[in-house]
Structure 1
Amino acid sequence: MDSTVLLGKATGEIGGFNETMAAAAFEEISHFILRCQFASIVIVTFLSGVLVMQLFTYFTYQRNDKIWTRAIVAWSASWTLVITCYYWVYISYLFVDNFGDWLPWLEVRWLAKMPVFDALAVIPVQSFFAYRAYLLMNRNKILLAVLVLLLTTAAGGAIGTTIIFGEQETLFGASVSGPALITWTAVTTGADIIIAGCILAGLLRSKTGWTHTDKLITRLVRLTFEAQLPPTFLALAYVLEWSQTPSSLLGAVFQSLQSSAYTVGLLFTLNSRIAFTTVDNDTRSQQTPQVFGMSNINNTRRPTDGIQVDVQTYVHDDQPYEYTHDRKGHSKADSLSDGDTERGVVFENGSRAHLTAGSNAV
């Protein structure tokens, strides 16, 4: 691959194409591929900025998270940022080092490495969600085996795409890597669909009838859609586009966004735990406990003003029989220090307690 590029620079040809032939080959689609490259670098850079902010939030508030979760975040985020920098170097090579030349657009050495880079960033993220699906499905061993097989196949397809596509002399030979690339993207999409479906099924089965729990599960279901569907649709769009126009650079746009979409989705899921914890604490401090199957809208606490407490005190003579026999005629009411009158005590909140002495005490 590199020898082909060196030979092309020496002879002015790549894969039998010289500058004039390359310009003629790209003439009809020149505006389209230029828009694709500019759009991809803008979107990738924007997502990298979002990723950096998410990383700051994650390591600020969740630095005590499980070590393997932090390792996945650090690994995938690092490779995503590497891909962004790599893509910037590629764009600089096309528009700065070789400005006005079309022959470098035929080189495959830059795009051929992207599948392996994507796999290094994406598969750990998929493994994280696959483990969550495994737990939600009651540690289903069959599901775990299927997901491991799919992720391993996706890794093999990415490596195969890099090897086969990298052996081609020009971009127009991209169709040769079709089986490996379709295997990689299709298996990636299939794994995403299975993982998302299992997570949703596990969450829906977790509903208990308690209002607070069910509302939390509903939010988690919505979160799963928001985090999982964008990268899934992106992978699906990539395989559909490549099957129609394999040598078009529109596929390179989808490929450059893939790692960013997965990593941003992962951190979106992890950072949402902060919001869930905050809302849960506010709910617990402001509302009454939940009643099974009932909403808490009308069960908020109300002030307890104007409560009156009536207290009646009775004195029971429990003296021994001999003492009672000697004290015949002694009235039990004499033991009351406040006589036979009723006294009221007013408390700070305006409530009133009455102390009543009854002459017919029992």
Structure 2
Amino acid sequence: MGVFDLILGPILMGTQMNVLLMGIMIVQCYVYFERYKGDKPWIKATVWLLLLLDLLSSSFAMAMTYNYLVTNFGNIPAIQVTNTGIDPYPLLTGITALVVQTFFAWRIHVLTKNKLLAIIIAALSIIQMLASLGTMIGGLIVKDFVKLEQIKQISLIWLFGSVITDVIITVSLVRILSKKKTGFASTDHLISKIIRSTVQTGLLTTTFALGVVIAYLVSDSTMHLAFGLPLSKLYTNTLLSSLNARSAWSPEGYTTASHTAIQLPTGSGSQAYNEYSINTTNGIAVNVSKSSHTQTDSSSNEIHEMKTYKESPKHLNIV
């Protein structure tokens, strides 16, 4: 491999992935604002903030790539140092991770009322963000890619901080949701779907963050940027995916911005069904009601028999 492969190749791949995920993020934001108009203002503000951070991240990534591949094409000394496009990358990624991770810390607090766990997650996230700021400052001072070894310690605090926080969030959510199963097959199936989604999205960000760490440790080239440049987009898409998935939890029912109802036949041969009412604005409250309806039509009369009962709501409280 030549110098262009080692330095420009990972930058080009990372930028392409960054822009691709930016497009997915825009679609997710459109779906969110169309579908969940009843969400709390602060949640909407969080989504707008993440969209702004993503736009900045993509803009800087494209400016960096243009500088290396067009403005300084063939200029080997110029591509061996950082430029203004790459300099903000650590901080933007750290801030994005902070916003997303603290959102999930709040979600865990709502689920468990465990302030200590939420505080630990938030504290770790703040540490990784501050370390990302230190990494950016170090990069501005060092500049030369080969000499970035000098700021490896602060960079590893940032990257390992992100990985550890992601793992804690994923494991905590899976354990919490597993304990929320009610014994009702349909409700438990719903919870299992949420658990699978949580694991999949958590593993995605963790895998890419580990990819950055490994590439940073084993190579002096820019290989870590192939994983690092898209990382902030994975965080934002994870949160938006989690918010938008609320409507997909009831494929056989109907959904509004704040309410989902699932009607499932009992299979008894009569017009009987179980209805699961799910409030998804401030959380999930699964109310289970069972109804049976027998109707006989004749020319003179109609017989209606209604039997209903409700069980205590099973509160999951997931935003």
1:334-353 to 2 correspondence within 5 Å? 347=299
Aligned to 1:212: 186
Number of aligned positions between the proteins: 277
Aligned to 2:274: 289
Aligned to 1:180: 154
1:223-238 to 2 correspondence within 5 Å? 223-238=197-212
- The residue identity in structure 1 corresponding to 2:167 is I
If you compute each CA radius of gyration, which structure gives the higher value, 1 or 2? 1
Aligned to 2:268: none
Distance 1:279 1:68 in 2: 30
- The residue identity in structure 2 corresponding to 1:263 is T
Distance 2:2 2:300 in 1: 88
- The residue identity in structure 2 corresponding to 1:122 is A
CA-based RMSD = 2.7
Aligned to 2:108: 133
1:290-341 alpha-carbon deviations (Å, 9 max, x no partner): 79xxxxxxx999997xx79xxxxxxxxxxxxxxxxxxxxxxxxxxxxxxxxx
Checking the alignment, whether the CA contact within 8 Å between 2:97 and 2:125 is kept in structure 1 is no
Checking the alignment, whether the CA contact within 8 Å between 1:158 and 1:181 is kept in structure 2 is yes
**Compared with structure 1, are the counterparts of its residues 165 and 211 closer, same or farther at alpha carbon in structure 2 (3 Å cutoff)?**
same
Distance 1:154 1:268 in 2: 23
Aligned to 1:115: 90
Shift of 1:168: 0.8
1:11-22 to 2 correspondence within 5 Å? none
1:1-362 to 2 correspondence within 5 Å? 28-110=2-84, 111-136=86-111, 138-245=112-219, 247-277=220-250, 279-281=252-254, 284-285=262-263, 287=265, 288-289=273-274, 347=299
Shift of 1:43: 1.4
SS at match of 2:38: coil
**Compared with structure 1, are the counterparts of its residues 197 and 169 closer, same or farther at alpha carbon in structure 2 (3 Å cutoff)?**
closer
Shift of 1:141: 2.3
Distance 1:300 1:240 in 2: 57
Aligned-pair identity (%): 23
- The residue identity in structure 2 corresponding to 1:44 is N
**Compared with structure 1, are the counterparts of its residues 90 and 300 closer, same or farther at alpha carbon in structure 2 (3 Å cutoff)?**
same
Distance 2:172 2:263 in 1: 34
SS at match of 1:284: strand
Checking the alignment, whether the CA contact within 8 Å between 2:72 and 2:79 is kept in structure 1 is no
- The residue identity in structure 2 corresponding to 1:240 is I
Distance 2:140 2:225 in 1: 14
- Structure 1 segments (4+ residues) deviating >4 Å: 299-304
Checking the alignment, whether the CA contact within 8 Å between 1:192 and 1:228 is kept in structure 2 is yes
Distance 1:114 1:255 in 2: 8
Distance 1:277 1:285 in 2: 9
TM-score normalised by structure 2 residue count = 0.79
- The residue identity in structure 1 corresponding to 2:226 is V
- More strand by percentage: 2
TM-score normalised by structure 1 residue count = 0.70
Shift of 1:106: 1.7
1:161-200 alpha-carbon deviations (Å, 9 max, x no partner): 1112221141111111111010001011001100111111
Distance 1:45 1:143 in 2: 34
**Compared with structure 1, are the counterparts of its residues 169 and 267 closer, same or farther at alpha carbon in structure 2 (3 Å cutoff)?**
closer
Distance 1:276 1:215 in 2: 10
Structure 1 residue runs of 5 or longer lacking an equivalent are 1-26, 292-298, 309-345, 352-362
Aligned to 2:313: none
